[in-house]
Chains A and B, each alone.
Chain A
């Protein structure tokens, strides 16, 4: 890589005095012979949307699963700026991880089967999150589930329909409602609109934008679709073969990509 000749190296933040919400350092993960992540580091500041792009097998989804503590790397450190959990989150035991993910981190998967119980009601799926957090009153559960579904722009007259009966776009809204029900500090989105019709995709992205604007939720969004990343992200990280090849402001990555691979990606976009 010959970036140094063509642009200047950037400095550490000087004006931004708020510490990052998310700091990941030196994360590596190998599955058998396959190296999924090589020494990946990332920071996300409060209220920011970080986009991660890359082709299949680049490690972008693996990285997101690490952020959701679904897996433990061979090496690396992961911290969220939470006063009650100051250490490396990868050192937490199973129960502490589960509690942290249920209460402080929300995730929306490309495949709704991963995020939802398809044969429970939609409101029940959302309420389950609240139950884990200790809410026991039926009225409160239903009220807060309704609120989260409404914020996700899910039609409330269908809140007792089962996800299996719903369209793809609606299933994603139920996942989103479940993810934001407990007002997480971090919202992770793994190809949230992939496989949806273009018009439905635009509506779901718009809902995400609106949520981001109204609640300033910190988000990490993974997509192979550059249009989605361009619409959503403030900053972009480009991954290839488990490594971060380039990162920058979204408009810079799209208008002045530095790395050979990023140039190919950007120029291949329709």
Chain B
């Protein structure tokens, strides 16, 4: 079985110029992930779990190491891949689910959710039907579908966010505490969707505040341990 991802000796640190200080995040992270595998990142708060996910997604630039990602056209090192290649992979194969929705003013919930499908080339009417199906699945009330999520509560925003993030099946999915602030119904819908994606071969790496939520999905765990000056930096 070919791996989806091979991470070798990955290291991240932040250089904060105004303090003339280097914040160490993590060092020497190595693991391999196969299609359909679910990897849980564990460790105390601030140990760098979210930082690792963001580095894999390249929102953060690694300091050293490799992130070999296997595509149908050969492997590419996400640690040093060109920005346009990363953008392309994000559109097609690598998804990131956070607990926060970046709601745009005056864009309806159903349009936010259908956007990834439209970008992938699906005609607008079908994309909209599919978006509505997922909004319903995550328990967003029908009268909110045309409304702007900027005015929604945190929990409702998160449902829109999840519907958008999971509507287009990816090959690799990074999950940063997606169950935070979800009600029981939405959490069940999320876990159903993740189980389906896993069965379809999507490889996943996740951080969960309550790993019990996804206990049935986990294949392997990685424990991140605090190093000297390990610190999770939110910029």
Contact = CB atoms under 8 A, between A and B. Distances in A.
Interface of A: 2, 5-16, 45, 48, 202-203, 205-206, 209, 213, 231, 234-235, 247-249, 251-252, 254-260, 263-264, 266-267
Interface in B55-112: 58-64, 71, 73, 76-77, 79-89, 104-107
Given A14-B81, A16-B84, A48-B84, A2 B63 contact: no
13 contacts: A6-B15, A8-B80, A13-B84, A15-B88, A15-B89, A48-B84, A206-B105, A231-B104, A252-B58, A256-B235, A257-B235, A258-B61, A267-B18
A266 B104 contact: no
Contacts, number: 106
Contact of A260 (B17, B73, B89): B17
Contacts of B106: 202-203, 206
Contacts of A251: 59
A234 B16 CA distance: 24
Contact of B63 (A6, A11, A203, A267): A6
Q: Is the contact region of chain A dominated by helix, strand, or loop, or is it mixed?
A: mixed
Contacts of B87: 48, 234-235, 249
Contacts of A45: 84
Contact of A213 (B76, B82, B83, B118): B118
B59 A16 contact: no
A14 B76 contact: yes
B54 interface: yes
B15 A2 contact: yes
Contacts of A15: 71, 73, 76, 81, 85, 88-89
Contacts of A8: 61-64, 79-80
Nearest to A6: B15
Top 8 A-B residue pairs of the complex, sorted by shortest distance between their CB atoms: A260-B17, A7-B61, A202-B105, A13-B82, A256-B60, A6-B15, A15-B85, A16-B84
